[in-house]
Structure 1
Amino acid sequence: MADINAVGAQFINYYYQTFDASRTQLGPLYRPTSMLSFEGNQTLGDAAIVEKLSGLPLDGLVHKVATQDVQPIDNGLLITVTGQLLAGGETNPQFFTQTFHLKPEGGSYYVQNDIFRLVYGL
């Protein structure tokens, strides 16, 4: 079995670099059965998820990962991330948590489930 922490770190780095640079490029990470819960709103399917993420009014966004935890689950990986994000020109970061359920496919992984929440009151 591959080092799950290394796989998790590689995924997290790729995901947030791609999200911050060009959200439309996240499509290959999702499948038609993938589900995104973004602030409580659910979106099903790779095309709909990319449309949702691309439509967010978040120009110049930068994610800063503070913690990441990775565990094996059902032949896949469960990854929980906490961190801060700054939108273009903002000086006060917003805190977030995001959880990914990655499933194996052809020697790699795809995102089956993705749950994102802003954390208020910190």
Structure 2
Amino acid sequence: MKDTDLQRRRFLQLTTTGLAAAPLAGLGMTTTASAQDGLPHLDEDSKEARALNYRHDATQVDHPEYQEGQNCGNCLLYTDPSAKEWGPCAVFPGKLVAEGGWCTAYVPRG
């Protein structure tokens, strides 16, 4: 498979993930801290986390798509921007991600 085919496939995967998750981004805005308390933290070694190269600490990310300053806390998919340390993410429903984490589904908050 050509490198351009792989790049196109990766782009389509990320675009699809972003488009699917974008409508869900606003749903978590009404989530209260008490509702989040019972949610487990996303395990970096889980299948879904590995699929999107998720890491709890963005400063430790070694991925070609990562750019300095990107983290879950300033991502559009982090559905409760007021959540500190751990918060909900539209890409990983039912789990909390680290505010300082990062994955390849990162979308800058407008």
Scaled by the length of structure 1, the TM-score of the pair is 0.28
Q: Which structure is higher in helix share?
A: 2
Q: Which structure is higher in strand share?
A: 1
Scaled by the length of structure 2, the TM-score of the pair is 0.30
